[in-house]
Structure 1
Amino acid sequence: MQRRHPVRVLSTSALVLSVVLAGCAPGLAANPRYATDSGAHPQGQPATTKPPEGPPPIEAPKNDLSWRDCTSRVFGDASVAPIPGVKLDCATYDADLDPIKGASGTISIGVVRATTDQTPQDAGPLVMTTGSDLPTSTQLPVWLTRSGSDVLKTRPIVAVDRRGIGMSGALDCRDLYDRQAMLDQAQFQPGDDPVANLGEIAQAATTSCTDTIAPGDSAYDNAHAAEDIERLRSTWDVPSLALFGVGNGAQVALAYAGSHPNKVARLVLDSPLPLGIAAEAAMEQRVKGEQSALDAWAAQCVAVNCPLGPDPKGAVDAVLDQVRGFDTSSAHSVAAVADAIATALAYPRGDRVAATNRLASALAGARSGDWNGMDTLVSEAETLRGTDGQFVNSCSDSLNRPTPDRVRELVVAWEKLYPQFGQVGALELVQCLNWPSGSAPEEPQNLKTPVLLLGTQHDPIVGNEGVAAVAATALNAGATNKRVIWQGIGHGASVYSPCALPPVSGYLDSGQLPDTDTFCPA
């Protein structure tokens, strides 16, 4: 091996450099910025810096919130075991009650931040919202126990509860009797007109809740939820946000992109619906999703030899017949049992086999007279999806509602089209008929940030038609998009399918969409 001579090399380099400089050095008059007694004068074209391509970076907060540890509480509230090494911190911040229409006052917004020891301290956060479907602070721990904790290797996740829900000042505005009667869709009221019976109860609940939230009775819709996220951005003092919305949270994130298109660093929309979708259309998509999920679950049930034997849907019909009063009396209503089944399908616990058998065991028990398992599912569904804050927010988002007579027509028509869920879905439209009418948020325009869309083939909350519609919205706004479709059962492809997470993580880190659409197996 030859020995190196660093001094000789350095001398040669210096000699070459001096020759180059001597050959290229201009005279004084040729240098446009050379200092003279008369000062420098602009000459020629100024140097320009090409702006970086792609969406802006995700920046860490300059002014952070006052966080406090709440790991045990949040994991406990979500009924999942804490994850070793994952820390959850809680905080609140004040948002204007109505920055759109100008009603004075503030409202407290609750947030939860997830980190690990590996999470870079200078990394910008991913802002997560599930909107009014369920508290984001409840869904975050579930996501983390599956595959979401992988995101924490590169950045924190901050979950924002929608106003009036979860940690954002949970509302208590309905009379206890009215709340339960609405959950039961007035099934146990005298008379043969459920639309009229439920409408009377919903009217009383609407009056009570609008009085409770006054003067903000028009401040609980998607547009205001988006402004709550904008207050978080301005509080953090960062130029833009990475947004991850699931279900109604995807509508909130899309509304934010409409009102603040230049402040979106990333936009991940999982299980979205269009911003201006009418109440009847949204409900029919949901009912279709419930039926599709039930069919797919029944096939899985047979495949894993579940406790219901070869006809799981027949067992579902038998239990629903019981609560209709055809066979035996039950303390539960048709709506309570149907919602419990849909909720178990939408938010499965454990792996696919465990989730399939959990619902099957509850149905098998109820069919034979043991309602303990179904009682648990009903209680979980009412706690997760039947709060006053969800009533207020979902009705505030409900657009172009049908008339009572139209609902009566749908009760008959949908029961034939969607046997297990159609009647319940139609009657649920009654709950918002008396709520003050609102308007859809602005659609995004001139959106420079690419959009990652995710959907589920069998989604009991929003169905599977929203991805295509929102893709068209993104294209009309000038944004490219790619899709990730999970062929399973549940609400939130990124939450329940490990296959859906790598495209999300890659997009968050690089700002670039996957080269192709992704299809994840069930």
Structure 2
Amino acid sequence: MTRTRGRVAALLGAVAVVVGTTLATPAPALASGDPVGPARPGGGITGQAPCPNAPEFICGTLTVPLDHSGTTPGTLDLAVAVTGNTTAPKGDLLFLTGGPGQPGVLLIRRIAEQMAPVLKDYRLVMYDQRGTGAHALQCPGLQQDMGSSDLAVPRRKSVTDCAATLGPNARFYSTADTVADIDRLRRALGDQRLTLDGVSYGTLVAQRYALAHPANVARLVLDSVVPQEGYDPMDLAALPATARVLRAACRATGCTTDPATDLAATVRQYGNGAQILDALTSYEFTDPDYGGVPEILHEAAAGRPDRLKAFIDDVHQGDAAPVEWLSQGLHAATLCADSRFPWGTSDTPVAGRAAALERTRQRLTARQTWPYDAATATGLGSLLACLDWPREQVPPTPPAHRKLPDVPVLLLGGDRDLSTPNELLYQQAESAHHPKIVIVPGAAHSVQNRAANPAGRQAVYDFLLT
């Protein structure tokens, strides 16, 4: 099997383009004239200058309140970058990265090259969501344990150390806070409406923004869709989807085994379902055909797990990522604030959470989890990080299954995606008035950025320009 750099390959590939040789194009202005947006305290984008590692774009700083309610004092500086088309007839296109925890500004050149066919009509805007990029939340132990993975299991001490480092302000890093930041950004840019293109966690942010500010959205691109109610900490969509995805990849590569049956047998023998799911959701970035995986699972099911153990270890090592590229401190703070767990929310006393999680494990059925088991669903890293997260006040949970604004919505997915399987995309399409759905064969997570098949990118161009 080819050695993999895991999920971080997607980040590394994008970052390498940004920090490579710079171009000689003159830097544009954020807007025609002086500071962007109306001259109000904290309302504009300050410090406008060519981006340090990509001088053909302009960078600046948006200052936002730490606490949008005004109860807790303090501000945060968010980096912003734009391309140069200040007279774009279709306005600003805000591209939202994933994670939560991935920066935006560092990726401006890569995304601008990707979106080049629409940039005569749109100005591209990217920014570092609070707690990411140069101002990323620093939790070294958690960063070491999880790297770029959502599902790797962290040490309990890493979780408690991170929560202690962030302190009570951790509650100000929820998706609701990011949504409020985006509306500040919209006003600073001088826009009445934004077009939002979100990838992975960025799709959740885009939907939550559209629901909170329906009059301020022109259209939505949702790539690798997270439902508007947020992540399922037990990943109950990805567990059964693994059988479909591995079988499709097997047919495409001509393998002669049934990887789903072999996976089920392996999990029964070794109880390693969480580790396998973590490895597969990272490996999809390297090889959407999951080459070699069916053979490894077949050997493990037959009692020879050595190659499977090596594969899991290799992928986990490749998931290493610095905090500037994906902040696991921000990842934990956001998911623990946002999500509903088997024990409730992060406002639930810590002492009763483990018992509630065990009761949930006992109630899960084989139909919900096959080809994995119930212990897989209750043993995933993002869930276990929040199991030990200190009790904190969390933002109100928005009502589920609300209709998005009646604007054009494109939902884009890959048929090999395990991080956000297409079952979630079809579920979310029901909340759009006239959804356009594009499933790209042979593509995994993050279709616009990673798919070899250009059909998804072309669908985005057609959608944005029509």
After TM superposition, the score normalised by the length of structure 2 is: 0.68
Q: How far apart, in 2, do the equivalents of 1:464 and 1:370 lie?
A: 26
| Residue of 399, 402, 427 corresponding to 1:469 | 427
Alpha-carbon displacement from aligned partner over 1:304-337 (angstroms, at most 9, x marks no partner): xxxxx6348389859978x959xxxxxxx87455
User: Are positions 1:343 and 2:282 aligned together?
Assistant: yes
| SS of equivalent to 2:172 | coil
Shift of 1:420: 5.0
Summarize the Cα distance change of 1:422–1:299 in structure 2 as closer, same or farther, 3 Å threshold.
Answer: farther
Query: Alignment RMSD, CA only?
Result: 4.4
Q: Does 1:294 align with 2:243?
A: no
For 1:191, the equivalent position in structure 2 comes to none
Q: For 1:471 and 1:314, how far apart are their aligned partners in 2?
A: 28
Aligned to 2:62, the other structure's residue is in SS state: strand
One-letter amino acid matched to 2:249? W
Aligned-residue offset at 1:359: 6.9
2 CA distance for matches of 1:128 and 1:499? 19
Q: Which runs of 5+ in 1 are unaligned?
A: 1-59, 73-85, 187-197, 303-308, 326-332, 511-522
Tell me how far 1:344 sits from its aligned partner: 1.9
* In structure 2, distance between residues paired with 1:140 and 1:362: 38
Distance 1:501 1:423, change over 3 A: same
Distance 1:141 1:125, change over 3 A: same
Aligned: 1:224 with 2:165: no
Q: 1:408 aligns with which of 351, 355, 358?
A: 358
Q: Is the 8 A contact 1:268 1:452 kept in 2?
A: yes
Question: Which of 323, 329, 348 pairs up with 1:388?
Answer: 329
Question: Which residue identity lines up with residue 388 of structure 1 in the other structure?
Answer: G
1:462 Cα deviation from its structure 2 partner: 2.2
Q: Which residue of 2 aligns with 1:459?
A: 417
Query: Which whole-Å CA distance do the structure 2 matches of 1:131 and 1:102 have between them?
Result: 29
What SS does the corresponding residue of 1:390 show, helix, strand or coil? helix
Conserved 8 A contact 2:112-2:124:
no
* Distance in 1, Cα, partners of 2:280 & 2:404: 42
Alignment check: 8 A CA contact 2:101 2:328 kept: no
When residues 490 and 177 of structure 1 are mapped into structure 2, their CA distance, relative to the original with a 3 A threshold, is closer
| Contact 2:66 2:76 (8 Å CA) reproduced | yes
What are structure 2's unaligned runs of at least 5 residues? 1-29, 37-44, 344-352
**Which secondary structure state, in structure 2, belongs to the residue aligned with residue 297 of structure 1?**
helix
For residues 18-76 of structure 1, the C-alpha deviation after alignment (integer angstroms, 9 at most, x for no partner) is xxxxxxxxxxxxxxxxxxxxxxxxxxxxxxxxxxxxxxxxxx8454452433557xxxx
Please give the residue correspondences for 1:266-345 in structure 2 after superposition, counting only pairs within 5 Å.
266-276=219-229, 279=232, 283-302=235-254, 310-311=256-257, 313=259, 335-336=274-275, 338-345=277-284
Give the equivalent residue in structure 1 for 2:398: 441
Change (3 A) 1:471 1:312: closer
Mapped contact 1:251–1:273 kept (Cα < 8 A): yes
Query: Within the alignment, does 1:96 sit opposite 2:96 as a pair?
Result: no
Question: Where does residue 378 of structure 1 map in the other structure?
Answer: 316
Task: Please name the residue that 1:169 is paired with.
Answer: 135
Instruction: Report if aligned partners of 1:287, 1:418 keep a CA contact under 8 Å in 2.
Output: yes
8 Å contact 1:455–1:493 — kept in the other structure? yes
Answering whether residue 87 of structure 2 is matched by residue 122 of structure 1, we say yes
Contact 1:96-1:107 at 8 Å conserved across structures: yes
**1:86-123 Cα shifts (integer Å, max 9, x gaps):** 9566544222112146322112323444x5xxx74422
Letter in 2 for 1:185: V
Query: Which structure has the larger Rg?
Result: 1
The one-letter amino acid of 2:328's match is T
Q: How many Å apart are 1:128 and its aligned residue?
A: 1.0
Distance in 2 (CA, whole Å) between partners of 1:470 and 1:244 is 16
2:249 match: secondary structure: helix
In structure 2, the partner of 1:160 is: 127
Contact preservation (8 Å) 2:80, 2:126: yes
CA drift at 1:289: 3.7
* Conserved? CA contact 1:131–1:162, under 8 Å: no
- Give matches, 1:238-277, under 5 Å: 238-276=191-229
Determine whether 1:490 maps to 2:441. no
Look up the equivalent residue of 2:126 and give its one-letter code. A
Query: What are the superposed Cα offsets for residues 104-150 of structure 1, whole Å, 9 maximum, x if unpaired?
Result: 2112323444x5xxx744223311113435515377666667x5443
Match of 2:118 in 1: 151
Check 1:261–1:183 CA distance in 2 against 1; reply closer, same or farther (3 A cut).
closer
What is the SS of the residue equivalent to 2:130?
coil
- The higher-RCO structure (CA 8 Å, 6+ apart) is 2
Cα offset for 1:376? 5.0
Find the counterpart in structure 2 of residue 481 from structure 1.
435
- In the TM superposition, residue 180 of structure 1 has moved relative to its aligned partner by 6.2
Tell me how far apart the structure 2 counterparts of residues 464 and 446 of structure 1 sit (CA, whole Å): 19
> Which residue of structure 2 lines up, in the alignment, with residue 185 of structure 1?
153
Percent of aligned pairs with the same residue? 24
Contact 1:103 1:215 in 2 (8 A): no
What's the secondary structure of 2:240's corresponding residue? helix
1:461-501 deviation line (CA, Å, top 9, x unaligned): 122233343333334xxxx4332233444123444242123
CA deviations on 1:394-445 (whole Å, 9 max, x unpaired) are 2222125445345335656477833358644421233223543443236767
In the other structure, the counterpart of 1:500 is 456
- 1:68 maps to 2:50: yes
User: Distance between the aligned counterparts of 2:332 and 2:242, measured in 1?
Assistant: 20
Taking a change above 3 Å as real, the CA distance of residues 184 and 324 of structure 1, as seen in their structure-2 partners, is farther
Change (3 A) 1:316 1:158: farther
- Do the aligned partners of 1:255 and 1:442 also contact (CA within 8 Å) in 2? no
Cα deviation for residue 389 of structure 1 reads: 1.8
- After TM superposition, the score normalised by the length of structure 1 is 0.61
The equivalent of 1:109 in structure 2 is 78
- The residue number in structure 2 matching 1:29 is none
Contact 1:269 1:453 in 2 (8 A): yes
Aligned length: 394
Letter in 1 for 2:319: A
- 1:224 deviates by 0.9
Cα pair 1:94 1:109 within 8 Å, conserved: yes
Does structure 2 conserve the Cα–Cα contact (< 8 Å) formed by 1:129 and 1:161?
no
